[in-house]
Amino acid sequence: MKQGLLAGVVMGGLLLLLVVVASLLLGPVSTPINALIDAQNPLHEIIWQVRWPRVLNALLVGACLSLAGLLIQNMVKNPLADPYLLGVSGGAASVQLFFILTATSLSANLQVLAGFAGGFAAAMLLLKLSYFGQIRTNKLTLNGVVLAFGFAALISMMLALAPPDQMKSMMFWLMGDLSFVRTQWWHFVIVGLAGLLLFRQHRPLDILSRGELFATKSGVNAVRLNVLVFSLTALLTSVAVAQAGTIGFVGLVVPHLMRLLVGNKHQVLIPMSLLGGAIFLLTADTLSRTVMAPIQLPVGIFTALIGVPVFLWLNSKTP
Amino acid sequence: MISIKQLDVIRDEKVLLQGLDVTFEKGQFWGILGRNGLGKTTLLHQMAGLLPSRNQSIHIDGMPLEAIDIQARARQISYLLQIQEPCLDCSVSQAIAMGQFAWQAKHNEAEAVDELMTMLKISHLKDRSLLHLSGGERRKVELATCLAQKSPHLILDEPLNHLDCVYQQFLMRLLVKQSQHQSVVMVCHDVTAIQAHCTHVLLLLAKDCYLAGESATILNDKNLQRLFDD
């Protein structure tokens, strides 16, 4: 198991490096590889000032969404669950759109923070609604879906009221875009700490996948673990949504892909989901800005265009 | 030893059984009989700590159940659930190894799991996926998981469900053997099986009416008539 994990991480790491380098070199202006290190090269600036922040953002958001998806699917035992089930995207988008609509001028950082707060608050509202001495996961699923409809109505209303010149910045929050804000160092600290914390709990997480009664009778404090899992999922998803808006499909499909590729043990699933999500989203984003260059397409198109065939193919290979 | 004193079995605020007094000891094999919906599963849930019970009515070896933390409790009691919860997939050997979690055993895990699978005649299922087993095969895996827990107390909720008649016989003999070093408590609707194998019986007749004792004395025609009276 240890060797399998090591091999997976090394292979994933190499693939990640390859995608990062490719993403840095590809773009409307194609750059030679020596521009990466040669500070004299005029393209050096483009690579490190324009492309690198976006690469970092894609890695961060991909890793967050994928790990959050792994957690939420394990918690509600529903293969269709994705991180947005927690109402985070709706909450964040509603707050953002409200600020844009009322023309409250916030600095970019404050705007991101407001989105984060809105998303996290929505998740906490869902937790409050679904908590009866323990998280009732069936209630959570239903409440989450219903809340999402409520937020969608709010968002539609604000879009209908918005003057045309505000539409573009509003659409960012709804379609997802990795070029809008930069990552901060503490984003990666959050993901790293969450990953470590969960990795230490890999056996309880395995057992939780068998059901809450099973976990409790086997010696796992399922009530506490569920609250931890929910909070971390909400945190990771809020970070992702605040950084990039609503990017679909990563949190749904990457955990499934990883389960098909590396099995069901969280010891392997957690690091591989982080890596897989980062690779997946960065690939999709690189394609979204190169395929029709100089036009940039929404990244969500490519997460689905890559994810759907890969997933269907892998799913047909396993019984 | 699991001792129950003045326990009220309560589900959703409704009292199902009142003032239950009974003690399950090592070397005893208890069968619990009673009509549907009388509170048997709720009683087992409370004994295993999956549902709270009022005023410390359940003690494990003298310790109130609520005072034992969840992981230590799993070292004391293993519990075969009646109903499968929705779950995600894993392999059979992974599933059985989960029974060892409470002990945090790093060594001999694989060997112990292999031994159990041989004992329960399910070695051929080792690498199969849990979600692709038949009902009976799944039941055997759950049973192996309970035995992997190596606890002094074994609680089983209708262990014979889904099993073929040959395996039912085998399992009853196995449980008799287990009861030499574990206290075994089993809810079961098969009166003949209980009569043939259990040393003790808890006969639940109504909310405030039950009989507990050695099966030879409890399971007489008069009492069974009361159980079957509609």
**A223 and B154 Cβ atoms separated by less than 8 Å:** no
Please list the ranges in chain A whose pLDDT falls under 50. none
Minimum Cα–Cα distance from A224: chain B residue: B70
Interface test with A, best of B75, B87, B143 (most A CBs within 10 A): B87
Q: Which of B70, B71, B81 shows the shortest C-beta gap to A214?
A: B81
| Amino acid at site A137 | T
Interface test with B, best of A201, A206, A217, A265 (most B CBs within 10 A): A217
Helix locations, chain A, DSSP H: 2-25, 43-45, 52-76, 88-101, 108-129, 137-161, 164-175, 185-200, 202-208, 212-217, 222-244, 250-262, 266-290, 299-317
Residues 101-160 on B with a CB inside 8 Å of A are 101-102, 129, 132, 145, 149
pLDDT tens readout for residues B86-97: 899 899 999 999
Q: Where are chain A's structural domains?
A: 2-316
**B171 and B160 Cβ atoms separated by less than 8 Å:** yes
Q: Which CATH number fits domain A2-316: 3.40.50.300, 3.20.20.70, 3.30.420.10, 1.10.3470.10?
A: 1.10.3470.10
Q: Nearest CA to CA, how far is B126 from chain A (Å)?
A: 15
Question: Of the candidates A237, A236, A266, A226, which has an alpha carbon nearest to the alpha carbon of residue A137?
Answer: A226
Between chain A and chain B, the number of residue pairs with CB atoms below 8 A apart is 75
Could you tell me the strand order of the sheet in which B14-24 lies? B14-24, B2-11, B58-60, B63-64
Instruction: Give the side-chain half-sphere CA count within 13 A for B158.
Output: 14
| Amino acid at site B41 | T
For residue A296, give the DSSP letter.
P
Residues of chain A neighbouring B149 (CB-CB closer than 8 A)? 218
Is residue B107's pLDDT more than 60?
A: no
Residue A216 touches partner B, C-beta closer than 8 Å: yes
pLDDT tens readout for residues B56-74: 899 999 999 999 999 999 9
ipTM of the complex: 0.94
State the first-to-last Cα distance of chain A, in angstroms, to the nearest integer.
Answer: 23
pLDDT tens readout for residues B152-176: 999 999 999 999 999 999 999 999 9
Structure tokens at A294: 């100089």
Question: Of the candidates B77, B97, B88, which has an alpha carbon nearest to the alpha carbon of residue B157?
Answer: B77
Q: Which of B49, B70, B90 shows the shortest C-beta gap to A264?
A: B90
Residue A77 touches partner B, C-beta closer than 8 Å: yes
How far apart CA A211 and CA A226 sit, in angstroms, is 11
pLDDT of residue A52: 93
**A190 and A235 Cβ atoms separated by less than 8 Å:** yes
Q: Which of B74, B89, B90 shows the shortest C-beta gap to A218?
A: B74
- Helix (H) or strand (E) segment spanning residue B16: strand B14-24
Residues of chain B neighbouring A216 (CB-CB closer than 8 A)? 49-50, 70
Which residues, including other chains, have CB under 8 Å from residue A289's CB and lie 6 or more apart?
Answer: A27, A28, A296, A297
Find the largest Cα–Cα distance for chain A: 65
Q: Do B90 and A211 touch (CB under 8 A)?
A: no
- Residue carrying the six token digits 């509600």: A76
To the nearest 10°, the Cα dihedral for A68, A81, B133, B160? 100
Q: Do B101 and A73 touch (CB under 8 A)?
A: no
Supply φ then ψ for residue B54, to 5 degrees.
Answer: -80, 160
pLDDT tens readout for residues A113-159: 888 899 999 999 999 999 988 899 889 999 999 999 999 999 999 88
| Amino acid at site A118 | G
Which residues, including other chains, have CB under 8 Å from residue B53's CB and lie 6 or more apart?
Answer: B7, B8, B9, B10, B46, B65
- Residue carrying the six token digits 């999709």: A284
pLDDT of residue A163: 83
**A119 and A237 Cβ atoms separated by less than 8 Å:** yes
How far apart CA B67 and CA B60 sit, in angstroms, is 10
pLDDT tens readout for residues B181-207: 999 999 999 999 999 999 999 999 998
**A165 and A103 Cβ atoms separated by less than 8 Å:** no
Instruction: Give the side-chain half-sphere CA count within 13 A for B162.
Output: 17
Instruction: Give the side-chain half-sphere CA count within 13 A for B131.
Output: 11
Is residue B147's pLDDT more than 80?
A: yes
Interface test with B, best of A74, A78, A218 (most B CBs within 10 A): A218
Residues of chain A neighbouring B94 (CB-CB closer than 8 A)? 206, 264-265
Structure tokens at A82: 């994705």
B172-180 long-range contacts, CB within 8 A, separation 24+: B172/B196, B172/B197, B173/B197, B174/B119, B174/B120, B175/B29, B176/B29, B178/B147, B178/B154, B179/B27, B179/B28, B179/B29, B180/B27
pTM of model > 0.90? yes
